[in-house]
Amino acid sequence: MQRQIAQFLTYMRVERGASDYTVKSYREDLIAATDYFAEEDGTCPAPASITAVELRGFLSALHEAGYAKTSIARKLASLRSFYRYGQREGWATSNPARALRNPRKGRSLPHFLTTEEIGTLLSAPPAESPMGIRDRAILETMYSGGLRVSEVVGLSDADVDLAQEILLVKGKGRRERLSPLGSYATRALKAWLRQRKLSPSEKQGREAPVFTNRFGTRLTTRSVGRMLEKYLKETGLDLRTSPHTLRHSFATHLLDRGADIRSVQELLGHKSLVTTQIYTHVSTANLRAAYEKAHPRAK
């Protein structure tokens, strides 16, 4: 097996142009497999004789040893590539790694802010400066409708209906949805649009961008990220917070207060309910924490 591994690594480096780091990763993954089989059988078998069942045993051993699922998935990918090469070279008649499924990656719960923290953040932009008025309108709009940062900077005047308190949001895959505006966001947007008209550099018309920089051009997602970071530092809030955290907070707070998951799915613009269900785990975790803190016989 050592000879086939050496030939495979040479092939990856010379013919496929793999980087030194990639070749090193392949080498480590394949040597881990040879070490396992040598320990199990006393000697490393020829790679063509290794079955899918035996490879599954190798992956199970990695799992029991505490390897991360991402590491196990990478080793499986290396074995698939190795056996594909073997089929090409003729020393393998099949690819036993192909039949094995990658381990399911656990989904980490999204980071979100509490309602108190959201209140602190949204009140941070100064109401007496033009940029502060704009920043508050951005943050209020994102939290009010659970908008992605790309969606909020993509808003044009034609997408805003302040009389009905709704936005026409253009989401992923060119899917459009109507997003309601709360009273706080509506007031903040009205204040910004009044302020925006005072600038001679501002564009006019239905296609004019709602949120602009000091030069009157459409704001970028990167600029929103920098703006948010500034207020996080000023307020002492968690610096892990990103523009997307406002969207996570929006969904979590709605579910915490009894909104049904289908409605939250529609509001977020998720194509699949599975994507939205991660927020039910957050709400359940909060409920469990409250129970354990309050119930006298919870522990």
| Domain shared by 184 and 224, yes or no | yes
Rounded distance, CA 142 to CA 247, Å?
7
Cβ burial of 30 (10 Å; 0-12, 13-18, 19+) is buried
| Domain shared by 170 and 251, yes or no | yes
| Domain shared by 85 and 218, yes or no | no
Model confidence at 275, pLDDT cuts 50, 70, 90, reads confident
Could you tell me the CATH number of the domain that includes residue 286? 1.10.443.10
Please report where in the chains the tokens 């975790």 appear, as a residue.
285
Q: What is the pLDDT of residue 185?
A: 95
Could you tell me the CATH number of the domain that includes residue 44? 1.10.150.130
**98 located within any domain:** no
| Domain shared by 124 and 264, yes or no | yes
**214 located within any domain:** yes
- 73-105 pLDDT tens trace: 999 999 999 999 999 999 999 999 998 988 876
- 9-42 pLDDT tens trace: 999 999 988 888 899 999 999 999 988 888 866 6
| Domain shared by 124 and 237, yes or no | yes
Rounded distance, CA 69 to CA 157, Å?
46
Model confidence at 286, pLDDT cuts 50, 70, 90, reads low
Rounded distance, CA 232 to CA 229, Å?
5
| Domain shared by 15 and 129, yes or no | no
Mean residue pLDDT across the chain: 88
**Span 138-154, average pLDDT:** 95
pTM for the full model? Answer: 0.62
Q: What is the pLDDT of residue 172?
A: 81
| Domain shared by 161 and 273, yes or no | yes
- 36-71 pLDDT tens trace: 888 866 677 888 889 999 999 889 888 888 888 888
Q: What is the pLDDT of residue 31?
A: 92
Number of folded domains that form the chain: 2
Beta-sheet strand order (sheet of 160-161): 160-161, 166-170, 176-180
Q: What are the tokens at 45?
A: 């078998």
**106 located within any domain:** no
Q: What is the pLDDT of residue 205?
A: 78
**Percent of the chain scored above 90 by pLDDT?**
59
The residue among 217 and 110 whose pLDDT is bigger is 217
| Domain shared by 84 and 146, yes or no | no
**280 located within any domain:** yes
On the question of pLDDT at 192 being above 80, the answer is yes
Rounded distance, CA 201 to CA 105, Å?
49
| Structural domain of 149 | 115-294
The residue among 174 and 161 whose pLDDT is bigger is 161
Q: What is the pLDDT of residue 68?
A: 83
Q: What is the pLDDT of residue 65?
A: 83
Q: What is the pLDDT of residue 2?
A: 85
On the question of pLDDT at 130 being above 80, the answer is yes
Model confidence at 279, pLDDT cuts 50, 70, 90, reads confident
**124 located within any domain:** yes
- 234-273 pLDDT tens trace: 999 999 999 999 999 999 999 888 888 899 999 999 888 8
Q: What is the pLDDT of residue 215?
A: 86
**103 located within any domain:** no
| Domain shared by 150 and 240, yes or no | yes
What are the residue numbers of the active site?
148, 172, 244, 247, 270, 279
On the question of pLDDT at 293 being above 80, the answer is no
- 204-243 pLDDT tens trace: 778 899 999 988 899 999 999 999 999 999 999 999 999 9
Shortest CA distance to 83 belongs to which of 29, 126, 17? 29
| Domain shared by 229 and 123, yes or no | yes
